[in-house]
Amino acid sequence: MKKVIVVGAGLSGATVARLYAEDGADVLVMDRRATLGGNVHDYVDKNGITVQTYGPHIFHTNKRQVFDFLSRFTEWEKYEHKVLANLNGQLVPVPFNLTGLYQLFPKEKAKRINDLLVAQVGEGVKVPILSLKSHENAEIREFAQFVYDNIFYKYTKKQWGMPPEALGEQVMNRVPVYLSYEDRYFTDEFQYMPKNGFTALVEKMLCHPNITTKLCTDASKAIALKDGKIYLDGRAFDGTVIYTGRIDELFSYRFGALPYRSLKFKFITKNLTSYQPSAVVNYTTDKRFTRISEFTKFTCSPKNKTVIVKEFSRACGKKSEPYYPIPIEQNLAQYAKYKILANGYANLKLLGRLANYKYVNMDVAVEDAIALHDNNPLIVE
């Protein structure tokens, strides 16, 4: 039987493990954590509330293939995510939209800006803040500067430790300005939460007779790379290793640690039916934390208690968890050096957010795993 080792039981690892297991391969999944699901891990607390261990995770996609694949392992609950920004106490929709424009500007001025935006940018369009900020029309630029100052600048500095311009369009374009009254955070065709949570979904993906899952198992202790060969527990391994951990760690940080942002989560249970008016409130002008998420707003939950989490962003040190790769040129160049090393191992495949140093949503993690499988067929004896 062809052997496959998958390092990491997150969504990327679970997807690829399942697909190769269904081909007839003998798949070993290892994760150093004691839990399944990587960063999408969740659990039901003592009050019956589903809490997400690594912050708010909402599934959304336009990729039917991904939705259909995951639907084999879960039923879904319809959920459309809404976010508000707290501007020194005043709540406006995020992405910033025409509702926010009329909330924050005097009526006549708001109407003039609205007309200008429709005439010069387009009606109903989504426009990146950095391009709106350099628009040729001075009044549009003034409006964009206001949105930039109140929605993007301080939040981005808190989250990334750098201003939007330094971070670049790839990240900033994730949250454009809506020139419409659309108030959903995502406009994708499929927006759902898994009925029994993400951990249950991943558990079901890994429940296959050809898959063995070992938790609390660190690949850096079990797997060694040397001169183009992979060793498992000291013996040459001629199967395929699919690695979803940090690429810099795999190569002992030879070119230095790749920079990440890490997060500290502060969970609080409240004796309230509701803490805030939307599932997530972003603090875009003040406070040390970036946002507060309220889990009881994501799914049906008991009504007498609620759980919130505050997120504090910080640079990732040796002992903290790497959450967000920082996709700026100098880091991508550092990553490329590691990638060249990895290319020297024919039976090593890199997958996922950490190994590919890529800021990806869940649907792209699953899509990339499906593509890796489809592009690397195993001939199973």
Site residues (vs ligand UDP, CB under 6 A): 85, 94, 151-152, 155-156, 159-160, 171-172, 174-175, 282, 284
User: Residue 53 interacts with ligand FAD (CB under 6 A)?
Assistant: no
The pair of structure tokens assigned to 194 is 């898994």
Distance CA 237, CA 231 (A): 5
The maximal CA–CA distance of the chain, rounded, in angstroms, is 75
Restricted to residues 218-247, the positions that interact with ligand FAD (CB under 6 A) are 218-220, 244-245
Enclosing H/E stretch for 270: strand 260-270
- Work out what residue 220 binds among ligand UDP, ligand FAD, none; the CB cut-off runs from 5 to 8 Å by kind: ligand FAD
- In this chain, which stretch among 117-125, 207-215, 286-294, 360-368 interacts with ligand FAD, using CB under 6 A? 360-368
Is the Cβ of residue 55 or residue 168 nearer to ligand FAD in the bound state? 55
Is the Cβ of residue 148 or residue 243 nearer to ligand FAD in the bound state? 243
Is the Cβ of residue 83 or residue 140 nearer to ligand FAD in the bound state? 83
CA distances (Å), origin 59, targets 71, 153, 205, 365: 12, 26, 16, 12
Is the Cβ of residue 213 or residue 284 nearer to ligand UDP in the bound state? 284
CB of 213 to ligand FAD, least distance (A): 11
**327 and 360 Cβ atoms separated by less than 8 Å:** no
Is the Cβ of residue 15 or residue 284 nearer to ligand UDP in the bound state? 284
CA distances (Å), origin 166, targets 55, 119, 170: 25, 30, 11
**281 and 289 Cβ atoms separated by less than 8 Å:** no
- Work out what residue 367 binds among ligand FAD, ligand UDP, none; the CB cut-off runs from 5 to 8 Å by kind: none
- In this chain, which stretch among 53-61, 147-155, 275-283, 327-335 interacts with ligand FAD, using CB under 6 A? 53-61
**240 and 378 Cβ atoms separated by less than 8 Å:** yes
- Work out what residue 85 binds among ligand FAD, ligand UDP, none; the CB cut-off runs from 5 to 8 Å by kind: ligand UDP
**In degrees to the nearest 10, what's the CA dihedral of 355, 360, 366, 367?**
-100
Number of residues that bind ligand FAD (CB under 6 A): 34
